[in-house]
Amino acid sequence: MKYFFYLDTGGESCSNLQLYSLTQAIKYFNEVTIKYNKTGKDSPALIESYVFIISCLGLSISQLLGQNYSKKEKNIPKLGPIFSDILQREKKIKKRRKKIITKNFDDLIYSYNKCRHFGITIDDSTHKTILNLTYAKTKKYVKITYFLWDLIIKIISKNPDHRLEDLYLLKIKETISNILENNLHKFQPDIDDY
């Protein structure tokens, strides 16, 4: 069976889809930053970009969690319970901090779901969420995602049965660092921010 988390995004036999999604989000965010900095204002034209970025961020997190979570069950559970289970494994993070991290995770996934399921609802909540996206919110989601990737990988790598060596962790860190450095965006989220 071919897995889609082996190798890097340029791999010959497979692709690292989770890293590809994250990379696209960061690249596109850097392009949006240039556009946003010209005016310093949000615009309806940028909403499409925000939706795309948040969709890629959420996709990368859902793939990272889903492909690296295993309890030998028939079906993989929803993202919230997966993340909660993984986060509970980390004993060094205090309970209060876990609540803050979980709230930010939930906020990101809520917006991600709205961005990928933006059909008409009775209360128009999906469209309202999308119309209220801003550069600042999108930047926050980029930072949160980067933080979550780092946290999830650290926690999962403590499990002796993990398959993270297949992710080529150094390649992931190099890829993300290169994207951020080459586009002058250095996201160094501090856990205290979340």
Where do the domains of the chain lie?
17-193
pLDDT above 90 as % of the chain? 20
**Digit-coded pLDDT (tens) for 72-129:** 666 766 778 888 888 888 888 898 988 998 999 999 998 998 888 766 667 777 777 8
Amino acid 13: pLDDT: 47
Under the banding of pLDDT at 50, 70 and 90, the label for residue 8 is: very low
Cα separation of the two ends of the chain: 38
Crossing angle of the two packed helices 95-116 and 44-67, in degrees rounded to 10: 120
Q: pLDDT tens, 160-188?
A: 666 665 555 555 666 666 655 555 344 44
Task: Read off the pLDDT of each residue in 48-77 and give the average, rounded to a whole number.
Answer: 81
Cβ–Cβ under 8 Å, residues 64 and 76:
no
What local confidence, expressed as pLDDT, does residue 137 receive?
Answer: 93
| pLDDT exceeds 70 at position 190 | no
Cα 32 to Cα 46: distance, rounded to the nearest angstrom:
7
Question: How many residues would you count in the chain?
Answer: 194
- For the chain, what is the mean pLDDT? 75
pLDDT at res. 176: 60
- pLDDT, position 135: 95
CB burial class (10 A; 0-12, 13-18, 19+) of residue 12? exposed
